[in-house]
Structure 1
Amino acid sequence: MPTQLAADAPAPQNLPARVPLHNRPLGILASARAGQKNVLALIPEIATRQPMLSGRTGKRWHMVMDPGALKRVLRDKVEDYPKSTVTKLILEQAIGDSLFVAEGAEWLWQRRTAAPVFSHRNVAALAPVMTAAAERSSARIAASTGRAADLFAEMVAATFDVISDVTFSGGEGFDRAAVHRAIEGYIGHAAKVSVLDLLGLPGWVPRPGRVMAGKAMREMKRIADDAIEARRKAGRRNVPDLLDLLLEGEDPKSGRKMTTSELRDNLLTFIVAGHETTALTLSWALYLCAFDPAIQAQAHDEARRVLGGRAATQADIARLPLIRQIIDETLRLYPPAAFLSRTAQVADALCGREIHRGDTVILPIYALHRHHMLWENPDQFNPARFVDAKAIDRFSYLPFGDGPRVCIGANFALQEAVIILATLLARHRFSLVEGKAPKPVMILTLRPEGGVWLQVEAAQAGM
């Protein structure tokens, strides 16, 4: 894979935080060092101006930014481009052979079983949990009025409240703090690219970071297993949560139901992805609103007009178009899954270039979303791009992927993000803290290194 480590150029003052992309490729060891610090350092600046790049760093790789080629990889020939070996090595310790990493028939039956769980009706029924979490978050933020607060830490807390409430609503035997610590430890230590990954060594060769995180991950799985078994005995809730729905779910074709370990791996997938990605989206959205006070004021007015003094609900979402546009633009500038990779299973051609069996095909979503051939002023924060979202080329904007493996929880995440963001912008005003700009760094997801520190004030009418 390519990486470029020339001297960082300072970000323009009129643009929000971005990853400095470079143009001096390095070899395997330097790539591994860069990937340990920030996976996005593997993307060259030229990737934001070309449809495709190819090279060799240990293995042959191809970096694809062309919407037509992305459609081929993600939709038309999806079985020929499964998730890469590196992706599986990073994730399997945490989420086993769950829906996120399974392939072929194993993936298909899990998807058929889980898809009804995330139907519009079921997701809408979970909205009151999101509204309650927005209320609690707003109250905690109000306690910081007049001073700076780390809104990333707060959004992680708020979204973890949501995902744990809609997954294990009774909380029976479910140690939320232990699970949260294990997830954070795994992302911080085990979910990093290893030089052994880049060399293509098999998974049985130990990766030190993943060995260190093993004990916490085993404890997290034990906690989840115990909670699942307790629910089997207790039976479903009056208002079913995700665990109830998955326990009842079965593959409509085979009648197969998930075992405890399969349920656990998928629930942990939903917990990790469901709170982490939404927390990041909300954190970056608040940063962008603080970066552009005029847009924040417009969003405040919209939210205040619709909500008055109450928290947002699912019924309000259709009347909050600017809030939704801010979320969409945030996902363009800071997509949580900003760097994907696949391994070609057959010979193929992309953009007229030969793809060999075994080649790594990289989908740098961060570069795609900031591509100069696809977006006007791509590094600028401009929610108006999404006034007519249908006018945007589908494969130019992929915050949740696409094709058969599009993120199963996308509607859940968007609903939660709009409800929480609208509630917070209606009640609070956020401004930047000098010297505390967040740094976009990707390990497993695109996180703000150092947090998102913003000055908090009570919102005033006509702010």
Structure 2
Amino acid sequence: MTVPSDEARAARTAPPGPPRRATFRLLKQLFTDRLALMGDNADTYGDVVRIAIGPKAMYLVNHPDLAKHVLADNAANYHKGIGLQEARRALGDGLLTSDGDTWKKQRRTIQPVFQPKRISRQAAVVASEVDTLVQRLAEHDGPVEILHEMTGLTLGVLGKTLLDAELGGYETLGHSFEAVQDQAMFEAVTLSMVPQWVPLKKQVGFRTARDDLRRIADELVDQRLANPVENGEDVLSRLIASGSGEGASRTRMRDELITLLLAGHETTASTLGWAFHLIDEHPEVGERLHTEAVEVLGDRLPEHEDLRKLTYTVAVVEEVMRMYPPVWLLPRIAQADDEIGGYHVPAGSDVVVVPYTLHRHPGFWTDPERFDPERFTAAERPPRYAYLPFGAGPRFCIGNSLGVMEAVFVLAMAARDLELRKVPGKVVEPEAMLSLRVRGGLPMTVHRRERRRRSEAA
């Protein structure tokens, strides 16, 4: 009989983690506070943690080198996992949920829409949409639901920049996507053990939302087929052109559009919500944003070249995404046995890289709970894989450039002309769904600023 070497035995050792007697506490956290579930166990057990809940075991990865292994070096072994698998019922096999050759083909089809030169040409469209929003907010009397406003903005920008379509008439989109996220997370935490036909309010709402999203996607496809754009560069045109003669299948186009609508607006809207919350908590940051916007922009709309000049504004966006990464969880399923950090991970295991905890790792971030945009203006930065607001590896977020440009333009133009303050008594808490959003919305009051001249700002 062959005796395994010490190295082989070590490689088959399970990572540390909470004991079985902690199951009920873990279940409670899984339902009510998923961020604490991840953070507490990373703090207690280290950079690789095995969390067993019922019949399933989840492997938490919380180190830049190990995140690189899962997301980049051995990415072929890790397909999309918990949460995204459940979201497939509404999103279908879109870019967010597909794997393998299907994903590669989809990525090749859509990638040209996000080329840097094309995105830079969209700057005027983005700036115009933001200007309309800021002017409307300036005239608002009484509290405004800022997350609703940001959702409307980001959907409008997405429609005009990526689809060459108007989405203003689809007011139900935001609510439908919330229902999709709620149901996907419900199925994930209940291990899909509740039959889908059970008439729970959440499940009924999901079915209504799914039908609504499919209807909207079909209408957008029909509009483009009826009014084709010659040599169109937008997503709809490319999906049609990628088909065989008669265009792409309706199901495929629907899946791609629903996925794009969700991923293209939710992450940026969430980032902006957290940004306005943090700026309100740190008024000195708002003043620096205002000063920079006056200096760089004056009275004009921003242009793409201004991204290199709005350095502090960019740093604020980066720090917001560090503290509250819109994609807080990167779930994967191991296709074959693997070794992570010297520990054995069996095939079929749920493996999760958690940007939320990684962005707070005390080994790579100084005073990680402090909101400090200047950490992103320093010459020395943490390791590449210690900061993953857009994921990493082959599945790096395709829309990162557009999202950052949109967020920077919003913060610069809003800080130049307005001051937003949270309604007194509003408690801001994170809600970890498919994205990391502010629980229960973010009502704020809007106050006009007296715009200073450039010489006064200096």
Matches within 5 A, 1:230-269: 230-236=223-229, 240-249=233-242, 258-269=248-259
2:28 and 2:160 mapped to 1: Cα distance? 38
Matched, 1:225 2:218: yes
Secondary structure in 1 matching 2:172: helix
**Separation (CA, whole Å) in 2 of partners of 1:451 and 1:356:** 40
**Which residue number corresponds to residue 333 of structure 1?**
323
The C-alpha deviation readout for 1:265-294, integer Å capped at 9, x for no partner, is 112111111111101111111221121111
SS in 1 for 2:427: coil
**Secondary structure of residue in 2 paired with 1:177:** coil
* Letter of the structure 1 residue corresponding to residue 30 of structure 2: G
Post-superposition CA distance 1:73-105 (Å, at most 9, x none): 000111111111x32432112210111111111
Matches within 5 A, 1:38-117: 38-48=33-43, 50-57=46-53, 58-84=55-81, 86-117=82-113
CA distance in 2, matches of 1:117, 1:341: 26
For 1:129, the equivalent position in structure 2 comes to 125
**1:43-98 CA distances to partner (integer Å, 9 max, x unpaired)?**
242514732222311222211111111101000111111111x3243211221011
- Which region of structure 1 is more displaced relative to structure 2, 201-210 or 262-271? 201-210
Say whether the 8 Å CA contact 1:35–1:192 is kept in structure 2: no
SS at match of 1:43: helix
Deviation at 1:192, TM superposition (A): 2.0
Deviations 1:350-391 (A, max 9, x none): 111111112211212111111111100001011111114773
- Aligned in 2, Cα 1:211/1:149: closer, same or farther, shift over 3 Å? closer
Q: Distance in 1 between matches of 2:410 and 2:128?
A: 9
Q: Is the 8 A contact 1:51 1:64 kept in 2?
A: yes
Distance 1:152 1:197 in 2: 28
Look up the match of 2:343.
353
TM-fit CA distance, 1:136: 1.4
Partner Cα separation in structure 2 for residue 319 and residue 426 of structure 1: 15
Tell me the distance in 1 between the aligned counterparts of 2:348 and 2:379: 36
Whether 1:287 and 2:287 are equivalent positions in the alignment is: no
1:166 match: 161
Q: Match of 1:384?
A: 374
Measure how far apart 1:201 and its partner are: 5.5
1:426-441 equivalent positions in 2, closer than 5 A: 426-441=416-431
Q: Does 1:372 align with 2:362?
A: yes
Counting matched residue pairs gives 433
- Greater shift in the superposed pair: 352-361 or 41-50: 41-50
Name the CA shift for 1:123/1:60 in 2 (closer, same or farther; >3 Å): same
Consecutive unaligned residues in structure 1, runs of 5 or more: 1-22
| SS of match in other structure, 2:212 | helix
> Using the alignment, how far apart are the partners of 2:366 and 2:301 within structure 1?
35
Match of 1:10 in 2: none
Against the structure 1 CA distance between its residues 215 and 458, is the aligned structure 2 distance closer, same or farther, given a 3 Å change threshold?
A: closer
Residue 174 of structure 2 is matched in structure 1 by: 180
- Higher alpha-carbon Rg: 2
Q: How high is the TM-score relative to the length of structure 2? A: 0.86
Most deviating of 274-283 and 203-212 = 203-212
Q: Match of 2:262?
A: 272
Tell me if structure 1 keeps the 8 A contact 2:338–2:345. Answer: yes
Is 2:291 the partner of 1:318? no
Matched-pair contact (CA < 8 Å) for 2:94–2:255: yes
Q: Deviations over 1:2-50 (max 9, x none)?
A: xxxxxxxxxxxxxxxxxxxxx9987666645543444324224251473
Is residue 2:455 matched to residue 1:459?
Answer: no
Greater shift after overlay, 313-322 or 449-458? 449-458
Contact 1:48 1:370 (8 Å CA) reproduced: no
- Is the alpha carbon distance of 1:443 and 1:37 closer, same or farther for their aligned partners in structure 2, counting shifts above 3 Å? farther
* Deviations, residues 95-118 of structure 1 (Å, cap 9, x unaligned): 101111111111111111111111
Quick check: 93-102 or 162-171, which moved more? 162-171
Deviation (angstroms), 1:259: 2.5
- Residues 440 and 231 of structure 1: is their aligned pair in 2 closer, same or farther, counting only changes over 3 Å? same
Report the residue type matching 2:63 in the other structure.
D
Q: Is residue 138 from structure 1 mapped to residue 134 from structure 2 by the alignment?
A: yes
Query: Does 1:303 pair with 2:296?
Result: no
Letter in 2 for 1:220: L
Give the counterpart letter for 2:79 in structure 1: P
CA contact (8 A) 1:300 1:425 kept: yes
8 A contact 1:75–1:402 mirrored in 2? yes
Amino acid at match of 2:112: P
- 1:4-43 matches, within 5 Å, as 31-43=26-38
Contact 1:312 1:420 in 2 (8 A): no
The separation in 1 between residues aligned to 2:180 and 2:21, in whole angstroms, is 27
Matched, 1:448 2:438: yes
Of 204-213 and 31-40, more deviation after overlay is shown by: 204-213
Superposed CA RMSD in Å reads: 2.9
Structure 2 gap segments, 5+ residues each: 1-17
Q: Which residue of 1 aligns with 2:8?
A: none
Conserved 8 A contact 2:173-2:213? yes
Give the Cα separation in 2 of the matches to 1:216 and 1:286.
Answer: 28
TM-score where L is the length of structure 1 = 0.85
**CA distance in 1 between partners of 2:366 and 2:354 (Å):** 19
2:57 match: secondary structure: strand
Structure-2 change in CA distance of 1:338 and 1:353 (3 Å): same
Shift of 1:419: 1.4
Q: CA deviation at 1:393?
A: 0.9
CA distance in 1, matches of 2:289, 2:188: 45
From 139, 144, 150, the counterpart of 1:149: 144
| Residues 207-226 of structure 1 aligned to structure 2 (within 5 Å) | 208=200, 209-226=202-219
Q: Contact (CA 8 Å) 2:293, 2:415: kept in 1 or not?
A: yes
Q: Secondary structure at the match of 1:380?
A: coil
